[in-house]
Amino acid sequence: MADLLIDPKDLTVSDKELGSGGFGIVRRGELRGRPVAVKIYKGHEELDRESQFMEVLRKALPMTKLDHPNIVRLLGVCRDDKHGLMTVIELCEGGSLASYLASHGPLPLDVRDKFTKQICEAVKYMHDNHIVHRDLKPENILVGHDRDPPMRGSDFLLSHSSKLDEGHNIKLSDFGMIRSAQRKTTLTAVGGTPNYMPPEGFDTDLDKLTAKADIWALGGILGEIHGGRPPFEGKVMAQISRKVVNKKEIPDIPASLPPHIKTAIKMCFAYKTANRPTAKQVLDKLRISSSHCVISWRPFVGCAHEHGQHHNGAASSVAKTSQPPSQHIVPPAQQPSVKTPPRAPQPQIKHWTPFIVAAAEGHVGVMSVMYESKPDVLQQTDNQLGNTALHRAAWSGRVAAVNKLMEWDPKLIDARNKYGWTPFMSAAYNGHVDVLEALLEWGGGALLDIKDNEGYTPWDEAAEFVISEKEKKKAEIREIMQKYKR
């Protein structure tokens, strides 16, 4: 897996400005010879330079998991002395949907349906994978061309190979990444616009907004695609707040639209979040079928274990959810899988710190930046189970991260979680041979004799290796352990 951090030597930033906003400006650039868009951030009023960088890294980690033809791909994060903090994304030559609608006027039926379908499918995929955008609007939806260069290979974290439709293709962009989970702030405080904001967005902590907030914004976007004006056009935030919150007004819906289209859009503006449809239900109401192409997704490491599941590292589909997540990232819904024993530690990703997430994902460069900025990140645990970054790296089989953590603090090898598990036990249980070998090199045979709270040793964990159920691998693990058995 390519690391999230981009070496400044690999990135060239031109003077050609592609756009601007509250965050800063977007310029054209080249990443290892490929054309890209580079978002250059201006200083943040609430965060110092280092904290802003940490926030971007924290928000960028889950975005690397999104792999869909209608979502702009985040390629990495970079900073240098000249431009400061930058995120590098896929280049879309067609500009924003807002400018496209302004210049093309009423859309032909086929283009209207295509754009609607692509936006709804992207929103559905995003919500199915437990990501909430929170700032959907035409300005944050880009229009790509078939001639836009494909970003393939490990450098660009792609796994789908389906051919995109001919002509223009919609791409969701600008997932609001710069904000702190500790700050009580609303969308407008981080560059969002009130025109597409749901009622709950005017007085709710940003972190408490759910996927249903995106559905309200989706209704406004669909109204424009179907020939309407932007929601509450020309009104300022205070005026919009009075209309939406106090008077319970909804954005105008073109009266000339067929009844089923008006109904679908109006459903998005339900004041009770529970009454708003999902993106799939909007498509169904519009009588536009969703595509049947299979888009693979690399789940956020550890999420599947939340409900006694295991992910073996291969791309897998994610179960649909009927209820929106209450956090920006939450564990997936239950899906059929091999269950881990009750005594196995069950990861709770919503309690993970950014450093622990980076370790679990194997982003050694990101870990290094965080460690250099704040060395005590090594002492962080996930709060719920008491796992350290080394536990998570070992559980996920991230041998490079394991070695880096041990280099920084060899005492981490003795850390215990609430079950009494050491990082070595986590690696033994999941059958990560390379991690076991690395930890044995660091800690020696004494690691084999440590018992957890129930009296199990790593030998027992290897015997309990039910996740892959491959006898050959179990034998390999026991053979490696035997070399160090005292």
List the CATH number of the domain containing 38. Answer: 3.30.200.20
Residues 110 and 19 in one domain: no
Separation in Å, CA 20 to CA 81, 140, 437: 20, 11, 50
**Average pLDDT of adjacent 10-residue blocks, the chain of 486 residues:** 79 90 86 93 73 77 83 90 90 89 89 95 92 90 66 33 53 62 36 81 75 96 96 94 94 94 97 96 88 40 33 32 36 37 49 85 87 90 90 94 96 94 90 91 90 86 55 70 73
| Domain end position, chosen among 267, 286, 305 | 286
Separation in Å, CA 63 to CA 66, 68, 75, 175, 178: 6, 11, 9, 8, 13
DSSP state, 90?
Answer: E
Residues 69 and 105 in one domain: no
| Domain end position, chosen among 90, 105, 126 | 90
| Domain end position, chosen among 90, 113, 129 | 90
312 in a structural domain: no
202 in a structural domain: yes
Residues 129 and 181 in one domain: yes
CB 320 within 8 A of CB 332: no
First to last CA, the chain: 36
| C-alpha–C-alpha distance, residues 348 and 346, integer Å | 7
Residues 352 and 444 in one domain: yes
**266 in a labelled binding site:** no
Query: Which residues are CB-contacts of 312 (< 8 A; sequence separation ≥ 6)?
Result: 467, 468
Q: What is the pLDDT of residue 470?
A: 53
325 in a structural domain: no
- Indicate whether this model's pTM tops 0.95: no
| C-alpha–C-alpha distance, residues 411 and 424, integer Å | 13
Residues 84 and 107 in one domain: no
Q: In the chain, how many domains are there?
A: 3
| DSSP sequence for 157-222 | T----PPPPSS-EEEE--------TTS---GGGGT--GGG--GGGGSS-GGG--HHHHHHHHHHHH
Residues 174 and 41 in one domain: no
Q: Which residues span the domain enclosing 463?
A: 338-484
313 in a structural domain: no
CB 139 within 8 A of CB 98: yes
**Strand order in 84-90's β-sheet?**
11-21, 24-31, 34-41, 84-90, 74-80
- CATH number of the domain that residue 131 is part of: 1.10.510.10
Query: Which residues are CB-contacts of 414 (< 8 A; sequence separation ≥ 6)?
Result: 422
Residues 158 and 267 in one domain: yes
Residues 76 and 101 in one domain: no
